[in-house]
Amino acid sequence: MDVRAQLRGFIVDNFMMGQDATVLTASGSLLELGIIDSTGVLELVGFLEETFQITVEDDDLVPDNLDSVDNLVKYIQRKSNS
């Protein structure tokens, strides 16, 4: 399964239990859409580290890396290549 599909699946199953999955667009802000809250990010980081074998540094916790599916995909690719 590709990175994008894995990510989407995780977000829909874990943060959007009661919501319509079409709300989750590729570039929509996870925070502004109310999908992830301040504790949810820890869960997301845990998932990224386990699933994609990367280490998320504290300095990486910025919206440019984590706040949409598009940004997450780019971030994971960048980390996996480095």
Partner 1 sequence: MCGIAGYFKLNDTTDLPDEQLIGRMIKILHHRGPDEIGAYLDDLCVLGQARLSIIDLSTGSQPLCNEDGSIWISYNGEIYNYIELRDELEKAGHRFRTRSDTEVIVHAYEQWGRECLSRFNGQFAFAIYDKKQGSLFIARDRLGIRPVFYTTHNGRFIFASEIKSIFCDLSVPRHLDLKGLDEIFTWWTTAPPRTAFDGINELEAGCYLEIKNGQVSNHRWWSMDFPTEFDRSRSIDSWAEELHELLVDSVRLRLRADVPVGAYLSGGLDSSATTALIKHFTETRVETFSIAFHDKAYDESEFQREMADHLGTNHHQVSCSYQDIAENFPHVIWHAERPIVRTAPTPLYMLSALVRRNDFKVVLTGEGADEIFGGYDLFKETLIRKFWSRRPDSKWRPLLLRKLYPTLPLSPGRARFYLETFYKKGLSQTDEYLFSHLPRINTTVKLKEYFTDDVKAQIGDHPSLEVFGRDLPDQFDRWHHLLRAQYLEARSLLSGYLLSSQGDRVSAANSVEGRYPFLDHRVVELGSRIPPWYKIRGLNEKAVLKRAMKAELPSRIVNRVKQPYMAPDSNSFFCDNRPAYIEELLAEESLNRAGLFKPSAVNKLKTKCGRLSHAHLSFKDNMSFIGILSAQLMVQRFVDQFEPPSPPTSDEYSVWHDDRRGI
Location of structure tokens 């504290």: 58
Among 3, 6, 10, 40, binds partner 1 (CB under 8 A): 40
CA distance 37 to 21: 17
Q: Which is nearer to partner 1, 45 or 73 (CB)?
A: 45
Report if residue 46 touches partner 1, rule: CB under 8 A: yes
Query: Using only C-alpha atoms, what is the Rg of the chain?
Result: 12
Q: Is 54 in the site for partner 1 (CB under 8 A)?
A: no
Size of residue set near partner 1 by CB under 8 A: 23
Q: Is 27 in the site for partner 1 (CB under 8 A)?
A: no
DSSP 3-state assignment of 28? coil
